[in-house]
Amino acid sequence: MIRITPIETGKARMKTAQKTGRDGRGAFGRKVDIFRDRNWVDPLPIFCFLIEHPEGRFLVDTGDTWRNSVPGYLPRWNPFFTREVVIKVAPLEEIGPRLAAMGLDPARDIEVVILTHFHHDHTGGLDHFPHNRIIAPRENYEVSRGLMGMMMGCLPQRWPVWLKPELVDMDGPPVGPFPASHPITRDGSIFLVPTPGHAKGHVSVVVRDAGITYFLAGDATYTEANLANGKADGVTYDPTISEATLRAIRQFATSEPTIILPAHDPDGPARLAAGRTFTGS
């Protein structure tokens, strides 16, 4: 028996043009749209997901940190950080205190931390896991360390000095429409699939239990509605790649009973509690 628990670690507020990009716009045009947009969506949750599995506890992503509120934490030279998104995390909303409130020692009781990608709202809680295995996609790690990564939402200068993630490639067999995969558990019930678009090298985590599959999508889509409608976000580096990823997720999720769990979808916990699977509409 596998159990999935969403853990909210604060709120993210973004422009409507970031959540859903405009049809026909390329990657650069979508960034321009975000800066021109005057409309903000309601604050969205920042979810991590705890997977309790016979082989141990696995945490997908680490949320963000209260230090976003500290002057100078976010680079002022990047206007996206300072003008186009608002992150609000109270100290006790960080993933460490959240896990502790559940009776878990984050540094000792989590078998593996899995990162879908290295954007700051997925890596801000890494400080709580100095003694854990941390698995991450090699391709995304490589692009996140440089200037381009810093321009596109990563904060490598804020990563823990001890961070040396276990970098993995998509070197496993195809799974449905996904051309490759990477196993996480020995029994093969938890594995990664490539879901590029929102970021290069982005991966999603698939968890197969008896009669039900959970698709932990990271930011491959912000919401199930965007997935169903084939709407790529405004952050994508290539809308064509994002749309192909969304098609692959839809094909996979309609081929077996699958609950879609993005990192910022406020309806995700209700779908999970109700066992509501993806229908494609």
Residue 188 lies in a domain: yes
In tens digits, the chain (281 residues) has pLDDT values of 899 999 999 999 999 999 999 999 999 999 999 999 999 999 999 999 999 999 999 999 999 999 998 999 999 888 888 889 999 999 999 999 999 999 999 989 999 999 999 999 999 999 999 999 999 999 999 999 988 888 889 999 999 999 999 999 999 999 999 999 999 999 999 999 999 999 999 999 999 999 999 999 999 999 999 999 999 999 999 999 999 999 999 999 999 999 999 999 999 999 999 999 999 87
DSSP string, 48-78: EEEEEETTEEEEE-----GGGGSTTSS-TT-
Domain region containing 202? 3-274
CATH of the domain at 23: 3.60.15.10
Q: Has residue 146 been placed in a domain?
A: yes
> What is the domain count for the chain?
1
**C-alpha distances in angstroms, 217 versus 94, 131, 206?**
20, 26, 8
Bridge partners of 85, per DSSP, are: 14
In a domain, 155, yes or no: yes
* 110/115 Cα distance (integer angstroms): 14
CA distance 88 to 86: 7
Q: Is residue 172 part of a domain?
A: yes
